[in-house]
A and B are shown apart, each in its own frame.
Chain A
């Protein structure tokens, strides 16, 4: 899929942003659905949260926060690119966005285990 003309940081940043956005858009309805149990079946929510202690689920959760972090910082980068005065250091910014995403999601993960 990554053809030679695409192998550069900004294109990869674009791909990451798209995949994370898509991932979030697919996950969010599920998340909403689970939260809605709080309304009529609080016990199932609790059960769910206990189920969430399972390391595998933890990893999945980490993945979601990671997606969110990637997308948010990537989005911040894009908004900066589009609305702030131009900076020639786009590659550095793209890399920083990914780094920040790792930092935040990593913190979350460390707290969770």
Chain B
């Protein structure tokens, strides 16, 4: 159920996310250690092009990566296939993308 193209998309997006997620965990550890409040965090992220690009890239990658991952799981455990499977993948990807973008806007704009 996974051809070369989807495989490439999933692996490339995973590679992109490696530094992003590791960075994110590091930031969170730092933030918690510093006892930052939400307002303080937002103060640093809002209006920052850098953070916008950082989390924007993450949202794009994760939508791609997770929707393909879910597609695999759903096919292998529930036996969904054909069009239904395509639709499922696209819907889950778009849902993640929409919700991710909404959060992105809230946090960085």
Contacts and interface: CB of A to CB of B under 8 A. Distances in A.
Interface of A: 18, 21-22, 24-25, 28-29, 31-33, 35-40, 42, 45-46, 48-49, 65, 68-69, 72, 75-76, 79, 82-83, 104, 107-108, 111-112
Contacts of A22: 69-70, 73
Chain A contact surface mostly: helix
Contacts of B92: 25
A87 B38 CA distance: 45
Contacts of B102: 32, 36, 39
B60 interface: no
Chain B contact surface mostly: helix
B2 interface: no
A39 to B, nearest CB: 3
Interface of B: 11, 14-15, 17-18, 21-22, 25, 28-29, 32-33, 37-39, 42, 62, 66, 69-70, 73, 92, 95-96, 99-100, 102-103, 105-107
Contacts of A112: 32
Contact of B106 (A21, A38, A48, A108): A38
A86 to B, nearest CB: 17
A44 B109 CA distance: 18
Nearest to B45: A38
Nearest to B24: A68
B38 A79 contact: no
Given A25-B69, A29-B96, A38-B106, A45 B21 contact: no
Contacts of B38: 38, 42, 45-46, 48-49
A108 B70 contact: no
Given A25-B69, A46-B38, A72-B18, A32 B28 contact: no
